[in-house]
Structure 1
Amino acid sequence: MRTTLPDRPGALAVLAEHCGRAGVNILGLQIFPGVEAVTDELVLSTPDDWDAARTADLVGQAGGRSVVVQSCTEAALSDQPTRYVQAARSILASPMSFPDVVARLFDAEADPVDPAGPPQDVMEMTVGDVQVQVRRTAPFTATEHARGSAMADLVSDVLQRTRAESAIAMTPGRRMGGGTTPGHVVEGDSISAVVDGVVVGLATVQEPLEDEPWTRPVVLRVDPGWQRRGIGTRLLVDAARLAHTLGADEIVLTTRSDNQAVLPMVLAAGMRGRIRMAADVLTVRVAVRELRPLST
């Protein structure tokens, strides 16, 4: 349960007294200080016949405002500093898991919500030039915004260090494979990376989405033996420019949520994107309207 209480002595004691009289036990408490009010998050054990509305009414009688009540499991009682350390370790091990890990950390959702559902608050974080959003019904506090920003900075630092190490390992202009530099061939709505007459990478700009005519999906594939050599990044940039040439304002890439190459590829391309994770699907949207068109 989350509620906003007046920032005055005894406000939390009043809430605790109301809970005690009603047979509601307070099992956990987090406090998010503010300038004029304080947001409190409590883990409550209520009588079996209570529902969310009755719990919210109890808190409202104790002076709570903006009350949000949701059911939870025993996991809500885990130590908060420990949760943040574990989240940081997960992100360091797999930076692409950032949206999913942060969503779980803040009891939020990383995927877009039903517009017909209840209004939700949005917290936006920036990793490099990629925007990540998580949503939930309870408003995010200033403290949580600061924590989310710190997590995003952590991912940015890890990815930047990874890019720097890759740059050292592969200097610009270095020839790949058997001493051959891939050539890029534009044909219709596709761009191919070709080595010795063999296609090692392909990006295809598909037809506009039916409900978003300004958006074109892009399918991008690089031969496993030629990955991590900058081919995917070059294909992404060229595909984005080609999509602009074809009249698109935005491209969208869809892949598995465990694909570790997507976020570094978008960051290396120097393009601004918005990333979403829903279940096991990762979606990246990149604006292309400001890019230079690609000659076909």
Structure 2
Amino acid sequence: MLWRVRATLPERPGALAALAAECGAAGVNILGVQVFPGIEAVTDELVLSTPDAWTAADLVDLVGRAGAESVIAAPCTEAALTDQPTRYVQAARAVLETPASFPEVVAALLDADVLPVGDSQDVMEMTVGAVQVQIRRDAPFTATEHARGSAMADLVNDVLGREQHHPHHPAFVLSDNRRMGAGSSPAYHVEGRSAVASIEGVRVGLATLREAGPDLPDVLPVDLEVDPAWQRRGIGTRLLSDAARLANGLGAEAILLTTRSDNQAVMPMVMAAGMRGRIRMAGDALTVRIAVRDLRPLPVAQP
């Protein structure tokens, strides 16, 4: 059976050798080692092979006898034996292809989760533009892993920066619809719980606030849609901003935007709107929670 074990060893000569000796005496095979250096202690991550009857508690006891502290053991698969530089290259390629996949990619890279699993998990927070991305896991993140996470976030910032300066690479595929009033500027107004954009009297964009759910009574989901023929013109950014201000006027704490995980326009749109958001990815869905309490309220249109 394969296990991933993370432990803190004292920074002294022979510490890892003592651990190897304990494993050898118990018939446990060390298949992989990754070292995260520190000043007074070193965090080691090992992939161990044990007989099928072994439990996580057995491994914690074994590694503890070698002088290790903060030992965490969990079953793993052969994927844990993948070469680490190869994993990071593959992760970088995935982020370059789909920047919005960053939360899921970096979580997998650091053996973490995007969504909370328990109350005692350690949290790593990274910033992409104005978007805060959080990942978490039971084992504390090391300084080396924080640096790696920041480097991956910088990569996303670079990619999104290039997208903003190269509009000939659109995040949306434009439709063949006729571009009505190509020289006209959009007009924006509020209809009930919706922020509306129109061109020459024709509606081209809409952001509608739905009712809050029982689990998040202070968070209003928002449905945002822009005619494909009018995307990449800042309409979505303006509508998102107006919807956020409208939500503030309704007494909400935040809005929640949900879209496909492969929608590359979401992060640039939130960044361009200048608002603080937290992005999460789960399966095929990407959600962004944007705080609205510090925004200037937008009056709600009266029926």
Gaps of 5+ in 1: 170-174
Is the 8 Å Cα contact of residues 100 and 267 (structure 2) preserved in structure 1?
yes
Task: Please list, as runs of the form range in 1=range in 2, the aligned pairs for 1:185-196 lying within 5 A after superposition.
Answer: 185-196=189-200
Shift of 1:92: 1.0
Shift of 1:166: 3.2
TM-score w.r.t. length of structure 2: 0.90
Which residue of 258, 272, 292 corresponds with 1:268? 272
Between the aligned partners of 1:114 and 1:34, the Cα distance in structure 2 is 27
Is the 8 Å Cα contact of residues 60 and 71 (structure 2) preserved in structure 1?
yes
Corresponding residue pairs, total: 288
Task: Please list, as runs of the form range in 1=range in 2, the aligned pairs for 1:117-128 lying within 5 A after superposition.
Answer: 119-128=120-129
TM-score w.r.t. length of structure 1: 0.92
Which residue of 91, 95, 100 corresponds with 2:99? 95
The 3-state SS of whatever aligns with 1:233 is helix
Amino acid at match of 1:142: A
Between the aligned partners of 2:273 and 2:23, the Cα distance in structure 1 is 54
The 3-state SS of whatever aligns with 2:204 is strand
Between the aligned partners of 1:160 and 1:246, the Cα distance in structure 2 is 34
Report what 2:115 is aligned to: 111
Report what 1:172 is aligned to: none
Once the two structures are superposed, residues 113-136 of structure 1 have per-residue CA deviations (whole angstroms, 9 ceiling, x without a partner) of 255xxx211111110111101111
Report what 2:203 is aligned to: 199
Once the two structures are superposed, residues 182-212 of structure 1 have per-residue CA deviations (whole angstroms, 9 ceiling, x without a partner) of 2112111111111232211110112233233
Report what 1:211 is aligned to: 215
The 3-state SS of whatever aligns with 1:31 is strand
Between the aligned partners of 2:83 and 2:220, the Cα distance in structure 1 is 44
**Farther-moved stretch of structure 1 (65-74 vs 140-149):** 65-74
Report what 1:143 is aligned to: 144
**Farther-moved stretch of structure 1 (11-20 vs 81-90):** 81-90
Task: Please list, as runs of the form range in 1=range in 2, the aligned pairs for 1:25-174 lying within 5 A after superposition.
Answer: 25-115=29-119, 119-166=120-167
Shift of 1:215: 1.6
Report what 1:286 is aligned to: 290
Once the two structures are superposed, residues 144-198 of structure 1 have per-residue CA deviations (whole angstroms, 9 ceiling, x without a partner) of 00110111011112112211223999xxxxx975322221121111111112322
Gaps of 5+ in 2: 171-178
Shift of 1:106: 0.5
Amino acid at match of 1:287: A
Amino acid at match of 1:269: A
Once the two structures are superposed, residues 257-294 of structure 1 have per-residue CA deviations (whole angstroms, 9 ceiling, x without a partner) of 22221111101111110111122221111111111112
Structure 1 moving runs of 4+ over 6 Å: none
The 3-state SS of whatever aligns with 1:87 is helix
Cα distance change of structure 1 residues 204 and 56 upon mapping to structure 2, 3 Å threshold: same
Report what 2:176 is aligned to: none
**How many percent identity over aligned positions?**
69
